[in-house]
Amino acid sequence: MTVFADGASVDTSSFLDTVETVLKAVCILIGAGLGVWGVVNLIEGYGNDNPGANAHVR
């Protein structure tokens, strides 16, 4: 797609391709961060660092 400004032709497809690439990278990074956070929370849940939390088990 081209846009005409002051009689000159401006190509916007390269800009849109760059925006698409950046947005894909941001989404992948957010997803990876959430995945790592979830794994860390699962690992913390299986820890034995707080015996008081298991007081109901005798």
pTM over 0.75: no
Domain count, the chain: 1
In the chain, % helix, strand, coil (3-state, to 5) comes to 65, 15, 20
| 2-58 residue pLDDT tens | 555 555 666 788 889 999 999 999 999 999 999 999 999 888 877 666 666 666 655
Is 55 part of a structural domain of the chain? no
Give residue 7's domain range.
2-48
Is 58 part of a structural domain of the chain? no
Secondary structure of residue 19 in the 3-state scheme: helix
CA distance 40 to 36: 6
Is 57 part of a structural domain of the chain? no
Is 33 part of a structural domain of the chain? yes
